[in-house]
Structure formats: structure tokens, C-alpha cells
């Protein structure tokens, strides 16, 4: 999928599996949230406003740079801050289930003969990140990257989560994804 996707979708796919981003996350991602030189994204989850920080893989940084290089000029001035703009100059974010990212993902899956009507869309990447990231044995770091909140006292007292812990989770997912035997056996 990553190899066959257009530059914008490729970057979004990598953000989905690298950082557990969903459609809304990619559609609302501002350029200011990216530190491509340092390979980090710091962006609160749009759905909840919960802070998130995620280490970006070299493949993700490269894909984002490529997407920005071919990015269409936005038609709406309010979209100029967004990383991803459709070929028609619009935001990728829509508050509907049948949004542009879902449609683009469905086209790619059909092209690759991997399409299934239910349960296998862009948001599946978020599920994969949670599942595989959890195997890194640091659920607190996974929750932080995903923008999940826990209603427990440890969360109230916790002042920070180190970048080392966050990177360990994303490194674990990267190893799983690019280790062909691991990824194929998980399917």
C-alpha cells in the first residue's frame, strides 16, 4: 500500500501506522505541528484535545516532505496551515464518515485487490498501532501517542513521558512493519 499510494496518501498511511493517526488527525494536521529536522510531531488529538507527541520514522519524514513538495495551493485561506490539501485545493478533513481520506484509501485497496466493505479502511492503521505498539510493553507511552486518557491517579500525578519511551514504542512498530515475516504473520 505504501509503495503504490500517491504522495499525500503515502504520508498519511505512514502517519497512521507510525503515530496511530486517524482520518481526522491527518486532515487537520497543521504544518506547525511538524519538526521534520528532529523527526517529531507534536499535535493534540483533534477529537479530544489531549496532547500527543510522536517520533517520526525516516520513511514518514521523507513521505511528508514529498507530499509537501507536490502540495496543491489551498483554495481556502484557512487551509494554508494544513499539511495535506487535496488535488482540488481543499482540506482532506470532512466531518462525515465517507470522507476524502476514506475514499482515497478505498481506491487504493481496490487497485491492490485488498478491498473489503467493512472493517478494513484507513482507521485500521490506528488499530494496528495500538495493538503492535502495546507489544512494546509501555502502554502509558502508547496511550500518549494515541491521545488516549486514563482516569486514574497515576495519570493525574504523571508530569511527563520521556521522548525515549515514546520512540521505543514507534521503533517497535517500525520493526514489526518492515520485518516482512512479522507483518505477514500478523495478518
pLDDT tens per residue, range 17-44 = 999 999 999 999 999 999 999 999 999 9
Half-sphere exposure for 162 (CA within 13 Å, toward CB): 4
Q: What is the DSSP string of 41-71?
A: EE---TTT----EEEPPHHHHHHHHHHHHTP
CATH class entry, domain 7-186: mainly alpha
The predicted pLDDT at position 17 comes to: 96
Question: Given a cut of 50, is residue 84 above it in pLDDT?
Answer: yes
CA separation for the pair 133, 141 (Å, rounded): 9
1 confidence band (pLDDT: 50, 70, 90): confident
Helix 7-19 vs helix 100-111: crossing angle, to nearest 10:
100
Query: What's the whole-number mean pLDDT along residues 61-67?
Result: 98
CB atoms within 10 A of CB 21: 30
Q: Could you tell me the strand order of the sheet in which 40-42 lies? A: 34-35, 40-42, 53-55
Cβ contact 161:140 at 8 Å: yes
Please compute the mean of the pLDDT values over residues 51-78 and round it to a whole number. 96
What integer is the mean pLDDT of 111-120? 73
Higher pLDDT, 54 or 118: 54
The pLDDT-based confidence of 181 (bands split at 50, 70, 90) is: low
User: Domain residue spans in the chain?
Assistant: 7-186
Mean pLDDT over residues 111-136, rounded? 85
Average pLDDT over residues 119-133: 89
pLDDT above 90 coverage of the chain, percent? 65
Q: Look over the chain and give the mean of its residue pLDDT values, rounded to a whole number.
A: 89
pLDDT at position 184 is: 47
Q: Please, is 187 exposed, middle or buried when counting C-beta atoms within 10 Å of its C-beta (0-12, 13-18, 19+)?
A: exposed
Judge whether 56 and 37 are in contact, CB under 8 Å: no
Q: What is the pTM of this model?
A: 0.88
Amino acid at each position: 500500500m505504501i509503495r503504490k499510494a500517491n504522495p499525500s496518501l503515502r504520508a498519511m498511511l505512514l502517519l497512521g501506522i507510525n503515530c496511530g493517526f486517524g482520518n481526522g488527525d491527518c486532515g487537520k494536521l497543521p504544518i506547525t505541528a511538524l519538526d521534520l529536522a528532529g523527526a517529531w510531531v507534536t499535535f493534540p488529538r483533534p477529537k479530544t484535545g489531549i496532547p500527543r507527541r510522536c517520533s517520526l520514522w525516516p520513511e514518514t519524514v521523507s513521505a511528508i516532505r514529498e507530499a509537501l513538495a507536490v502540495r496543491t495551493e489551498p483554495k481556502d485561506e484557512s487551509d494554508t496551515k494544513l499539511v495535506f490539501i487535496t488535488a482540488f485545493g481543499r482540506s482532506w478533513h470532512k466531518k462525515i464518515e465517507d470522507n476524502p481520506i476514506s475514499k482515497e484509501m478505498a481506491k487504493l485497496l481496490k487497485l491492490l485487490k485488498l478491498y473489503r466493505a467493512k472493517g478494513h479502511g484507513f482507521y485500521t492503521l490506528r488499530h494496528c498501532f495500538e495493538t503492535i505498539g502495546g507489544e512494546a510493553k509501555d502502554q502509558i507511552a502508547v496511550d500518549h501517542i494515541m491521545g488516549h486518557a486514563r482516569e486514574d491517579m497515576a495519570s493525574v500525578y504523571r508530569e511527563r513521558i520521556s521522548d525515549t519511551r515514546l520512540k521505543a514504542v514507534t521503533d517497535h512498530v517500525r520493526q514489526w512493519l518492515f520485518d516482512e515475516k512479522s507483518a505477514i504473520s500478523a495478518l
